[in-house]
Structure 1
Amino acid sequence: MSIWIDSERERVTALCEEHQIHTVECVIVDTWGIPRGKRIPVRQFLRGSGYAIANVVYSWDPTCFIFATPWVNEEDGFPDMHAVPDLSSFRVAGWTDGVAIVMCDTVHPGTNEPIEMDARNMLKRQLAKFAAAGFEVNGATELECHFYNAKWEPLYDDINCYSIARGAEMNYFMFDICESLRKTGIEVEAWNVEYGPGQTEINLRYGPLLEMADATVYFKYIVRTVAMKHGINTTFMAKPFLQEAGNGMHIHQSLERDGVNAFADSDEDSVVGNSLMRKYLTGLLKHHLELQLVMTPTISGYKRLQDYSFSPTQVTWGLDHRLVGVRSITGAGAANRLESRWAAADANPYLVLAGCLAAGLDGLENEYELMDQVVGDPHADERWQRLPTDISSAIDNFDSHFTRSTYGDVFVDNFVFMQRREAAEFAEHGHSALDEVSYWEIKRYRGVI
């Protein structure tokens, strides 16, 4: 029996016929943010039945090593989930011919209840809360990555941030990446050479938040795939080089009401100037330590947290300030927004965004006091609370009433279990210091995240 309504089937069928689609890539995202799924022939896809996939996809480690967790173990037999394509995310592939791609939500067979470990479902729940309050949430991601040659050597080894000449040397594959993204319906606003060897930042256009979360997943996949056609390797690993810039995922976000940016108008005498923006900001600041584990989910991510590296190391905010955790962009009218700068590029965007929304909503619903803004150098000021620099402390902070209400008990219990094992694996291989990026980390993260 079909799981689609007729109008959805008709629209997608027409697209498949128009573009001569023969295969649909049906994607879910595992807990580590890595796209997984199946390629389904178009005739089978259009029957609308979805597909089965083992539930262990949500509890294995980044290398797909399977171990017993509270979520699933040998006694359970690692049963199937059912993956249901969300046709609102259906896109014709811009990087190859005859292929389309679609995001899927996972449900329990028989009951069709959402899988408790599915981060995309978690983001949908948070968006529904804002919709009930009369808001649409808009956003955009800025992601940094490193490009390497076929031998995994950086494309260049000097620091030449914003260099037009250096960027021109990358045009032969970057133009192909940007055009492939455009043809897939993902608009690039700008890209530039960044501050590390072989490092680039690519900015995506602002839009509805679920659409942008899906676009972020597609984006990382397309960048890797198209770059590989040119013999270029890519990583979004948070910290591939200890003494060089790491890779971040900056999250721009704002609320829209009746088609208008609700952060735009000045309605109070505060440094922010907008009461909704101020309250949302207080929630982001109040709950960041609890959310650090989803924003920095890998061992190497904690080595990204270095003063004066443009990777925030404190719970701080400021007006158009790039050394703080939340950059408040005011005075821009309809473009007023908040930029959360904490997340690493290798984080799961659905988990990060669900956490931001839950924190922001808590701020809207309560009258938390807004801490002072940073003026000047935050790293020289001992007033500001520092982030933990090890994953074990972040794990402890994550297990809280707030995160359980945001992600659910099942997810929190399992993510804590998975991350404690990740820390134990790192220690077992003889590593504990933060003064190096180990071979273990490179092998574990660089090629897959």
Structure 2
Amino acid sequence: MTDWLSHAPEAARLYLDGRAPEEIECIVSDLPGIARGKAMPATKFARQSRFFLPRTIFHQTITGGWATVPVPEDATEPDMILTPDYSTATAAPWTADRTLQVIHDMELQQGGPVPAAPRNVLKRVVQAYHDRGLTPIVAPEMEFYLVARNTDPGDEIVPMIGRTGRAAAARQAYSLSAVDEYGPVIDDIYDFAEAQGFEIDGITQEGGAGQLEINLRHGSPVKLADEVFFFKRLIREAALRHGCFATFMAKPIEKEPGSSMHIHHSVLDADGANIFSNADGSESDAFRHFIGGLQAHLPSAIVLLAPYVNSYRRYVKDFAAPVNLEWGRDNRTAGLRIPVAEPQARRVENRIAGMDCNPYLGIAASLACGLLGLDQRSEPRPECTGDAYTNDQGVPRGLFDALELFDGAHDLHALTSAEFAQVYSVVKRTEYDEYLQVISPWEREHLLINV
């Protein structure tokens, strides 16, 4: 066993079972959250301490195109230095050989983190908490659909048909029978997660046909974002084994609910106490200020939580997704929900993020808005105790509007880095221009001979 494996998590070593790994995947997350990098023989990996990739991978759009970002490296494409973070080493159990995946830290050649790298953006926000003597804790929830194989983009996406042969059988929210519809896929998800050392807190059927939710245990934001990044890949691989696709689109199927990545937040002080609760268990000023920060700054950060034109199809009133930034205790119609919990576990659930967001950027954006509220002592609006769907204010209605708000959010840029904000905005505007070149079936149906 090579020396570097002694620094790998126990789960990776157990997966190898005393055997040497055969291949190592050296990976990083790009802006959309796609795993980029290099695969190499494990023997070569063991001999090298660093690797290289061009910094411009963060200028690539979701279509595979390239945005023209007005920074020097856009023309010359210099390399960044990738250093293995051995604590992230985990199995790739769907492969035919003994393969491990390792997430890498990304640094500039002159030193310092690459500003546009999503994992570095989250680390920067977490460090801002640490600079104030605080430790943020998060727990993400992942919703996704299992759908029939779709090889022609002109075809509508339809749910995978499970063991009963009826799509409606998998539309019963919280039904265990509905979960059993896709038992073989779910069994592989559990097996892959166990091999990778990930702990699933629970899995439930959501309201859509073939829509499932996986909850993760609370913990460090970077660690949990790493797990969501890994989970997206393992869920896709489990689905492919059984002839279907797993999709994390925010709104993949017409007339079905969208898929979210709810983010639960709490914050600990230097003594490990939850700052959202006073010593007597009552709600603290920090609790209010965190909510106030989310309400004040999330509109400018929505484009990080809803990064594509499809993302905004999820925000439909009375359709299982928030369309507002109201807050309420145990109120699922509000964009910001306070779950039932003991004082030491008091937390704020952000229900705005879509599952299509990059987990590093979605968590970073949400934490940054809360931190701005703590710094600025922001006061929230009065609690919503009724149906929050009656107020549809706060969430931009489309990608372009969201980008306009993001470009003016200088407080947010200061926490995430100005260079990242510039790169992200240019890439998203390029994607939007690419989208505008495509004529949809709706336009052909209603405009072709009527206008």
- What range describes the TM-score normalised by the shorter chain of this pair? 0.7 to 0.9
- State how far apart, in whole Å, the 2-side matches of 1:417 and 1:149 are: 34
Among 386, 400, 404, which residue is 1:396 paired with?
404
Within 5 Å, which residues of 2 pair with 1:225-264?
A: 225-258=237-270, 260-263=272-275
Among 198, 202, 211, which residue is 2:210 paired with?
198
Alignment of 1:207 with 2:219, yes or no, is yes
- State how far apart, in whole Å, the 1-side matches of 2:271 and 2:9 are: 31
Please identify, of 171-180 and 254-263, the stretch whose mean Cα deviation from structure 2 is larger. 254-263
Contact in 2 for aligned 1:26/1:37 (Cα 8 Å): yes
- State how far apart, in whole Å, the 1-side matches of 2:252 and 2:319 are: 14
Say which SS state the counterpart of residue 181 (structure 1) adopts: helix
**Corresponding position of 2:434:** 425
Please identify, of 236-245 and 46-55, the stretch whose mean Cα deviation from structure 2 is larger. 46-55
Say which SS state the counterpart of residue 68 (structure 2) adopts: coil
- State how far apart, in whole Å, the 2-side matches of 1:397 and 1:9 are: 45
**Corresponding position of 1:305:** 315
**Corresponding position of 1:379:** 389
Please identify, of 170-179 and 125-134, the stretch whose mean Cα deviation from structure 2 is larger. 125-134
Closer, same or farther: CA 371–237 of 1 in aligned 2, 3 Å:
same
Give the partner amino acid of 1:405: A
**Corresponding position of 2:45:** 45
- Cα deviation, 1:217-264, whole Å, max 9, x if unaligned, reads 001011111221222211101111232111111111111235644146
**Corresponding position of 1:440:** none
- Cα deviation, 1:342-378, whole Å, max 9, x if unaligned, reads 0110101111222222222222222222211111111
Within 5 Å, which residues of 2 pair with 1:149-188?
A: 149-151=148-150, 153-156=158-161, 157-158=167-168, 159-188=171-200
TM-score (norm 1): 0.87
Q: Please, which runs of 5 or more residues in structure 1 have no aligned partner?
A: 1-5, 437-449
Give the partner amino acid of 1:356: S
**Corresponding position of 1:89:** 88
**Corresponding position of 2:131:** 132
Contact in 2 for aligned 1:137/1:208 (Cα 8 Å): yes
Say which SS state the counterpart of residue 83 (structure 1) adopts: strand
Give the partner amino acid of 2:34: I
Closer, same or farther: CA 268–392 of 1 in aligned 2, 3 Å:
farther
Closer, same or farther: CA 233–259 of 1 in aligned 2, 3 Å:
farther
Within 5 Å, which residues of 2 pair with 1:15-30?
A: 15=13, 18-30=18-30
**Corresponding position of 1:79:** 78
- State how far apart, in whole Å, the 1-side matches of 2:43 and 2:318 are: 54
**Corresponding position of 2:104:** 104
**Corresponding position of 1:31:** 31
Contact in 2 for aligned 1:242/1:303 (Cα 8 Å): no
RMSD of aligned Cα (Å): 2.7
Contact in 2 for aligned 1:23/1:98 (Cα 8 Å): yes
- State how far apart, in whole Å, the 2-side matches of 1:212 and 1:205 are: 8
Say which SS state the counterpart of residue 159 (structure 2) adopts: coil
Give the partner amino acid of 2:101: I
Say which SS state the counterpart of residue 64 (structure 2) adopts: coil
Q: Please, which runs of 5 or more residues in structure 2 have no aligned partner?
A: 151-156, 162-166, 446-451
Closer, same or farther: CA 130–304 of 1 in aligned 2, 3 Å:
same
Say which SS state the counterpart of residue 7 (structure 2) adopts: helix
Q: Report the Cα offset of residue 118 of structure 1.
A: 0.6
Alignment of 1:357 with 2:357, yes or no, is no
Closer, same or farther: CA 67–209 of 1 in aligned 2, 3 Å:
closer
- State how far apart, in whole Å, the 2-side matches of 1:261 and 1:45 are: 42
Say which SS state the counterpart of residue 202 (structure 2) adopts: strand
TM-score (norm 2): 0.87
Alignment of 1:281 with 2:291, yes or no, is yes
Say which SS state the counterpart of residue 207 (structure 2) adopts: coil
- State how far apart, in whole Å, the 1-side matches of 2:337 and 2:19 are: 42
Say which SS state the counterpart of residue 279 (structure 1) adopts: helix
Q: Report the Cα offset of residue 329 of structure 1.
A: 2.4
Say which SS state the counterpart of residue 117 (structure 1) adopts: coil
- State how far apart, in whole Å, the 2-side matches of 1:30 and 1:67 are: 13
- State how far apart, in whole Å, the 1-side matches of 2:113 and 2:283 are: 40
Q: Report the Cα offset of residue 305 of structure 1.
A: 0.6
Contact in 2 for aligned 1:84/1:105 (Cα 8 Å): yes
Q: Report the Cα offset of residue 431 of structure 1.
A: 5.0
Q: Report the Cα offset of residue 286 of structure 1.
A: 1.1
Alignment of 1:189 with 2:188, yes or no, is no
Say which SS state the counterpart of residue 293 (structure 2) adopts: helix
Q: Report the Cα offset of residue 136 of structure 1.
A: 2.0
Give the partner amino acid of 2:436: A
- Cα deviation, 1:95-126, whole Å, max 9, x if unaligned, reads 455121221122222x1321121111111112
**Corresponding position of 1:320:** 330
- Cα deviation, 1:357-400, whole Å, max 9, x if unaligned, reads 2222222222222211111111224xx63322111110100012
Contact in 2 for aligned 1:145/1:199 (Cα 8 Å): yes
Among 385, 403, 407, which residue is 2:416 paired with?
407
